[in-house]
Structure 1
Amino acid sequence: MHRREEPSLPVSQSSSHLGKLGEGIHISHGEKTSVFKRPEVGGYSAVVIIFGWMAAPLQLLEKYAAEHRLCWPSADIVMVQAQPPFMWWTDEQRRNLMRPLADYLVRTVYSQGRSNGILLHVLSNGGGFHLIALSQVLHTLVPSQPALEPIRLAMVLDSVPGNGEYASINHFFVNSTPKPPLAKAVLTLAAAMIHSGIQIKRFASGQKPLFQTLHAGLRAPDLLPATDPHAPRVYMYSAVDSMVHAASVEDHIENLKKAVPWLDIAVEKFVDSQHVRHEKSDPVRYWQAVRGVWDRSLGTVRAKL
């Protein structure tokens, strides 16, 4: 497959032109007068939510947003930055952080009929943690009874879910960038102390482990309330990812198939790309999979009507 050059960011997609829904939650509004040109989209408009990996700079998330904008000019695109303190916050603090995004979805998708849809683009465990917090908030705001016409939903899960909190912390502090041996030794000790502190705090407060909550949330057919329980998803992961191992993602997929056998699950296993580098490794394959899962979500909605 031929690689293509990474697109330059459109002027409308630069940081200075982004709106802000809340702390670390940015939005680029779509061209509301435009009409989808691709007939298979069927007139649906979308909200794309990009959940970034831990400490991902906004400029990198904007590159993903720029690709989504090329696909869906009229979509609102939300970028959620994940910050490391989220790991040791209380569940209430995490939900409060996601409340502005939940309020926005209630005002738009949930209050304007079912012609809208949601495309979730989740990057790494950090993105997954934020998605679960959003799910928890939305379930307190939206009635839980099944909708007569479910909201269209599709999910892109890139380098998620992992199965170890310590591995995530250690990767962020120790292995995310090259470091001298002495610095790595000191940071490895610091990562172990931080992980121990998180565990003690969580045990004292009676909160469930983050990774247990992440896996359970991704298995839930009502991850977002009133959305299509048959919503398709695609898992992007790699055989050589040193942070989220392929076995973790594959075990999750197998358990998911057993728990929710009717789900439409696609898999894109890359050979030699590292953590959240799959798009850079093979952008053509990557974005074909993203467009494909969104197109399949239209088919699941039509089948229910």
Structure 2
Amino acid sequence: MSLNPKPGASSKAADKEALSWMQNLSPAVSYYDPHHESPTSGKEPQLILILSWMGARQVHISKYALQYRKIYPSSRILIAQCPLTHVVFPWRTRRDLSPALPYLRNMSERQQKADEAGDTSPKMLIQMFSNGGIHTASCLRSMLRGGQPHGTPVLPRYVLVFDSCPGYFRWMSSYNALMQMLPWWTGPVVHSIIAMVCLYHFLRRLPAIQNRNARALRSPGLLAREERRTYLYGTEDDLILWQDVEDNARKAKEAGFTIRLEKFVGAKHVDIMRAEPERYWKAIQNSWSDEPPTGYQQPPSSGS
């Protein structure tokens, strides 16, 4: 299955309706509050934050959101999408993601009150898809930190789930990811753009943005509010190598994070849910409730 197959006219119409049950806050942000339908449960996440992969269609994102709605009927759901324009035009990223900030700040304020009452349980479940989701997470964190004293937590206590990430910069992975959304004849142009970006980073002595974001996700500043993290990844992923995911997990463990690894043999990029749906959702539920992993594998040590 193509990561983001080019939609026809009928597909575009279906795509517009896919998240119609949610409140549309901006071209990239959607929100759902079920509390007029279901009573609040203390065992469910107060908020589920879904950070989609780059260029994801709403009809695909909705499959995850609807399943979360089924599993955790009293949880609020906040979706932040990552269109290609967010990578190309940073000003659009801030404009489109701004409506998500009040909901995240509200959760952080609730956490402060919960901490004062002695309740240190996680309040939010975050799922990031691919490097696009990680890019959105980085942007949101930067926006939330704006104007805050250094070291102030900007998120509530949370459980983190990675799907098909984090990865490192690899030329062909970047090329293949972009070509999922562009016509075939743009291939030479895409190679040229990647080359210019690489030259810019080389001359400025800057790490690739994928590498920088992966390192930021292991920042010690996150330890205060992160309970645990689970890596869901497939061995047939042609955009983010499973070895890179395991390397990130190993480094996160060395940095003090509590990690779980769920390797799905034969699964492709952001196609894990379709490959093994029962195990996929069980892994997420176990991560939230701190139950034993379904297929935990110890990450390789730095010496191996």
TM-score range, shorter chain: 0.7 to 0.9
| 8 Å contact kept, 1:65–1:77 | yes
Aligned twin of 2:164: 159
Tell me what 2:217 maps to.
Answer: 218
1:173–1:187 contact (8 Å) kept in structure 2: no
Against the structure 1 CA distance between its residues 143 and 44, is the aligned structure 2 distance closer, same or farther, given a 3 Å change threshold? farther
Report the CA distance shift for 1:99/1:269 in structure 2 as closer, same or farther (over 3 A): same
Match of 1:272 among 263, 266, 271: 266
Counterpart code for 1:228: R
Amino acid at match of 2:53: W
1:126–1:232 CA distance, 2 compared to 1 (3 A): same
Contact 1:35 1:43 in 2 (8 A): no
2:108 is paired with a residue whose SS is coil
Structure-1 residue corresponding to 2:301: none
SS at match of 1:214: helix
Cα RMSD after superposing both structures: 3.0
TM-fit CA distance, 1:287: 0.4
Query: Structure 1, residues 66-122: CA drift from partner, whole Å, max 9, x if none?
Result: 1111121121111222111222334x654444332123211x212333377111111
Q: Larger deviation: 287-296 or 113-122?
A: 113-122
Task: Identify the residue that residue 68 of structure 1 maps to in structure 2.
Answer: 68
Which of 25, 29, 34 matches 2:38?
Answer: 34
Could you tell me which residue of structure 1 aligns to residue 248 of structure 2?
Answer: 252
Deviates more, 1:202-211 or 1:161-170: 202-211
Secondary structure at 2:161 match in 1: strand
Cα offset for 1:221?
A: 3.6
CA distance in 2, matches of 1:201, 1:69: 43
Which whole-Å CA distance do the structure 2 matches of 1:26 and 1:168 have between them?
A: 29
Alignment check: 8 A CA contact 1:135 1:223 kept: no
Aligned partner of 1:110 in structure 2 is 108
Using a 3 Å threshold, how does the CA distance of structure 1 residues 143 and 72 change in structure 2: closer, same or farther?
farther
Distance change >3 Å, CA 223–CA 136, structure 1 → 2: farther
- TM-score (normalised: structure 1): 0.76
C-alpha deviation, 1:256, in angstroms: 1.4
**In the superposition, relative to structure 1, how do residues 44 and 56 fare at CA in structure 2: closer, same or farther (>3 Å)?**
closer
Q: Which moved more, 1:280-289 or 1:156-165?
A: 156-165
Aligned mates of 1:76, 1:203 — CA distance in 2: 43
- The alpha-carbon deviation at position 216 of structure 1 amounts to 1.8
Change (3 A) 1:200 1:84: farther
Letter in 1 for 2:239: M
1:11-67 superposed Cα distances (whole Å, 9 cap, x missing partner) = xx9522321233311111122563356xxxx45651111111111111111110011
Matches within 5 A, 1:1-305: 14-32=18-36, 34-35=38-39, 42-43=42-43, 45-90=45-90, 94-106=93-105, 108-112=106-110, 113-114=113-114, 117-140=123-146, 142-145=148-151, 151-164=156-169, 166-174=171-179, 176=180, 184=184, 186-199=185-198, 209-223=208-222, 228-229=225-226, 231-260=227-256, 263-296=257-290
Rate the CA distance shift 1:203–1:85 in 2: closer, same or farther, 3 A: farther
> Do the aligned partners of 2:28 and 2:97 also contact (CA within 8 Å) in 1?
no
Aligned partner of 1:5 in structure 2 is: none
One-letter code of the match for 2:267?
Answer: S
Residues of 2 paired with 1:207 and 1:96: CA distance?
A: 26
Pairwise CA distance, 1:218? 1.0
Which of 1 and 2 has higher RCO (CA within 8 Å, sep 6+)? 1
Tell me how far apart the structure 1 counterparts of residues 263 and 217 of structure 2 sit (CA, whole Å). 19
Deviations 1:106-154 (A, max 9, x none): 1x2123333771111111111111011111111225555567xx93301
Matched-pair contact (CA < 8 Å) for 1:217–1:223: no
Say if 1:165 and 1:195, in contact at 8 Å, map to a contact too: no
Change (3 A) 1:101 1:142: farther
Amino acid at match of 1:24: A
For the 8 Å contact 1:202–1:209, the answer to whether it is kept is yes
Identity of aligned residues (%): 24
Q: How many residues align?
A: 266
| Cα drift, residue 168 of structure 1 | 4.1
